[in-house]
Amino acid sequence: MDMAERAQQRTAVVTGLRRWAQGAPSDQAAVELLARCFSGRYVRPGVAWVRPCARPGWYWLDEDALAAYADTATGEERRVLTLAAVLLGADPVSRPQMDSGRAVA
């Protein structure tokens, strides 16, 4: 698959996610966060948290799969992915604490 085809697929996924999230501000924020950060690499076909809907051309985000992946990431990526998962409804209390880089008193 060439670069143009990958870009076209990513655009289709983002469009489908935006349709799904319409009317739910926190879902919209999560979709936009993932679409705009890290060159959109977290909203491409094949990642575990982007799921196709029954409606053709629509996709939804699985907050549990996203939160599980966020647990394996580090640094800024971990913080962004965890924020997106929490916006989608993942429980922030059950998530391991993120290292903010500050000493805890």
Domain residue limits, the chain: 3-88
Once rounded to an integer, what is the mean pLDDT over residues 1-18?
A: 91
Q: How far is CA 28 from CA 2, 17, 73, 99, in A?
A: 29, 8, 23, 26
Element spanning 50, H or E: strand 50-52
Look up residue 38 and give its two tokens: 């890290």
pLDDT band (50, 70, 90) for residue 103: very low
Mean pLDDT over 5-19 rounds to 93
Buried b / exposed e over 42-64, threshold 16 CB at 10 Å, is bbbeebebbeeeeeeebbbbbbe
**For residues 50 and 67, is the Cβ–Cβ distance under 8 A?**
no
Whole-number pLDDT of residue 98: 47
